[in-house]
Structure 1
Amino acid sequence: MPPAASPPETVWCPRVTVACVVAKGDRFLMVEEEVSGELAYNQPAGHLDPGETLQAAAVREALEETGHNVALDAFIGVWQWMSHEHGEQVLRFAFSGTSVSQDLARPLDTGIRRALWLRRDEIRDLGPRLRSPLILDTLDAWLDGRRLPLDAVSSRLPGGRS
């Protein structure tokens, strides 16, 4: 009788997310969304899909959540934190870009109420309604002038979407 197969090893992976800082004058593109029955505010942000580059994910999430077609211009940085919402570690890759157009007829992702433009002080004043403490960290890094070249984040995905 052959030995019993051992159970597959569990592999731990952090949750990978992307976010966009999109500025227009002194205002930033934000998303008002319903999370667990309450309104929360976030930058256009979401999860990396299989086979997708980080840059493509950031552009896709901005479009799906705001209807804005965003052209990325810089990589801001990566943040690591423990999400209480998901109970797991998150790696958040943040990019900056500009809105090149908006599709007002495009339906927004489920749970998204609207896209809006807010000043940094208005975002700060949302306090506990901010979905993540990384929103202000990312904005402040951008306001401090942090701009890394987009190729600071590269991918080698066979057949990956760009």
Structure 2
Amino acid sequence: MTVSTTTAVDRAALQDKAFAVARTVTDPEMPMLTLEDLGVLRAVEVDERGHVIVSITPTYTGCPAMATMRDDLVRSLQDAGLPGATVRVSLTPAWSSDWITERGRRSLAEHGLSAPGRAPARNGPVALSLMPTRREIACPRCGSAHTELTSEFGPTACKALYRCTSCLEPFEHVKEI
């Protein structure tokens, strides 16, 4: 029994098609962002048999959205005529909120969420603190820097809840990681 192989030209065309599909899949927790804009879509490859392999990186260990991201990617690829895709989780390098694209940051702001600032530079182990993190952020609605933390944990572990003391509107802030 022989295994059918695809040519490099065929693989490149399949890879382009698969990437074009994968880059449109949205995050289940923040649907205004594609997985590409969020920075979790790491790679799309096609093996010698024409099998699509997509690599994604979780925003943090234990992220409950990973299963939905995988299912949405597989379904979208299948709907585009690319059945049997495999989605791999890549833990290295670890995701950083710095990977959110500029388009993604604008989209967050347009939807009333505060985009993360630059992730803190770290060397070696990361100290665990149970105290709230001090952040200098602006209200995504009115732009005021007069904001206060109401909860370090929002509807998802990767967001914190804030309130603007100028316009009095509550908003979510995507945490720097």
Q: TM-score range by the shorter chain?
A: under 0.3
Q: Which has the higher contact order (CA 8 A, sep 6+)?
A: 1
Q: Which has the higher helix share?
A: 2
TM-score by length of 2: 0.24
